[in-house]
Amino acid sequence: MKLRLRSTYVAGAFAVAACAALGGMLSHRLVPPIPAALRPIREPSTDPAARAPLDQRAFAAKLWNQPARQPDPAPSAAAKIDPPKPLNLQLIGIIIDEAGVRKAAIYDPDADRTLIVSGGDAVRDFQVISITATGIELSDGSAVRRMALMERSS
């Protein structure tokens, strides 16, 4: 058994050596020769002064063209008007007095007071235009603002 194992090792080593020798003899034949057209005419110079100047025109190509800017459309008259400032008032409730006239209870947090107003009354810079069962309309002369009662969730 030992003889058989030893002879296998010797045969394997001989095969590896034969392949290495054969590969060494054939290696010069595996690299094809460079055609004459691809061989350099002369060796490149390492002297920076002997080199040809760099042609900067090669880098002047436009690679990306920015799209032409479109003129801004003329703003419309509605866009020029600033949106109205929010009302800093709270509609607390709608009251119907003995005569059947509707009045609104409005809380003014800036003055920290509650106002009871009816149609035609002034609240700050606003005039009360109408009072309905669910809300109130106020006008500052240029725009009408509506305030509605919030529904209670039960």
Q: What's the one-letter identity of residue 139?
A: S
CB 102 within 8 A of CB 89: no
Looking at residue 154, its pLDDT comes to: 56
pLDDT in tens, the chain (154 residues): 677 888 898 899 999 988 888 777 666 666 677 777 777 676 666 776 777 777 788 777 777 777 788 877 766 655 566 677 778 889 999 999 888 899 999 998 888 999 999 989 988 888 999 999 899 999 988 888 899 987 766 5
Q: Where are the alpha helices (DSSP H) in the chain?
A: 2-30, 77-80
Order the strands of the 90-96 sheet from edge to edge: 90-96, 102-108, 113-117
Residue 108's CB is within 10 A of a number of other CB atoms, namely 15
What residues does each domain of the chain span?
Answer: 85-148
Looking at residue 79, its pLDDT comes to: 59
Looking at residue 45, its pLDDT comes to: 67
90-96 and 102-108 beta bridge pairing: antiparallel
d(CA 70, CA 68): 6
Query: What CATH number does the domain located at 85-148 have?
Result: 2.30.30.830
144 beta partners: 139
For the chain, the farthest-separated pair of C-alpha atoms sits apart, in whole angstroms, at 131
pTM of the model: 0.45
Looking at residue 6, its pLDDT comes to: 84
